[in-house]
Amino acid sequence: MKAAGTIREIEARLKHGGLPAEEIEQLLLDSRAGVRRLALTYQRREERRRQEERRIEEMWQFERTYRQRGCRLIAGLDEAGRGPLAGPVVAAAVILPEDFDATGLNDSKKLTEQERLTLRQRIDRDAVAVAVGVADHRYIDEYNILQATFEAMRRAIAGLTVVPDQLLLDAVQIPGVTIPQEAIVKGDGLSHSIAAASIVAKTERDAWMARESIRYPNYGFEQNMGYGTPDHLVALERWGPTPIHRKSFAPVRERIQAKSGGGR
């Protein structure tokens, strides 16, 4: 059995998409191996596209539920930088419009740097409101990383140009906030609002660390973003902590104690 058209013509039709299922089935039965490969590739591509559409739709579930309850301004919150040995913890609050184009939007950890930057531009351009809150290394050392994370989130909320009706957060509840909030486990992969906040927080903090790498070029901050990578630990041992290192974090604290003789 042979479908109408040359392999090149069939490839062109498949490239434009939208072919009925019956025609694809015919192509899969074509006597030409090249046509069958094209049809199979098209079928797989269409299935990935449908899965992505379902994922995008499902990630509106929390926002949709709260809108049905009358909430108009729903802010997603997330943070970046709880684990590094240097630099601040950065939180972001993002309110997306109902018609926001969520194509490609996902947990920032699942995206490439370029994907995050492209999405950040769309978020900044189209969001109802975007704000960033920062708690630096001094705050972290004084109060601990969890309290610093809460403070960064409170500062992000305070920086919004409108007051949200509802907060959606990735697995945490912020003390000292009167706005209703819901903690969603793995929320950055389940809510577009939280995913958008994770992208803003991540890109903001990465840019901050990249700037600091110019001041402290020996530590590779532009690559490790302050995390305790092997190269970073080697640099910490050789050069000692910078002013932006978190002295309360064990590898940094131990290096300070060793240098002062307190580790002997």
**Parallel/antiparallel/unpaired status of strands 89-95 and 74-80:** antiparallel
pLDDT of residue 81: 97
Q: At CB < 8 A and 24+ separation, what contacts does 97-100 make?
A: 97/126, 97/127, 97/128, 98/63, 98/67, 100/126, 100/127, 100/192
| Confidence class for position 183, pLDDT limits 50, 70, 90 | very high
Tokens 């609050």 correspond to: 93
Tokens 């990935």 correspond to: 48
Cα 117 to Cα 61, 122, 123, 181, 242, distances in angstroms: 25, 9, 10, 28, 28
Binding site listing = 78-79, 170
Range 61-211 classified under CATH 3.30.565.10? no
| Confidence class for position 112, pLDDT limits 50, 70, 90 | very high
| Confidence class for position 264, pLDDT limits 50, 70, 90 | very low
**What's the token pair of residue 245?**
């290192």
Mean per-residue pLDDT of the chain: 93
Kindly tell me if the per-residue pLDDT of 20 is higher than 90: no
**What's the token pair of residue 90?**
């950065």
Binding site listing for a divalent metal cation = 78-79, 170
Q: Judging by beta carbons within 10 Å of its beta carbon (0-12, 13-18, 19+), is residue 123 exposed, middle or buried?
A: buried
Tokens 């697995």 correspond to: 171
pLDDT of residue 88: 98
Lowest-confidence range among 31-40, 114-123, 159-168, 236-245? 31-40
**What's the token pair of residue 41?**
């590739």
Q: Where does the chain hold its CATH 3.30.420.10 domain(s)?
A: 61-211
Share of the chain above pLDDT 90, in %: 76
Give kind and range of the element (H or E) at residue 233. helix 230-239
Kindly tell me if the per-residue pLDDT of 82 is higher than 90: yes
Kindly tell me if the per-residue pLDDT of 263 is higher than 50: no
Kindly tell me if the per-residue pLDDT of 26 is higher than 90: no
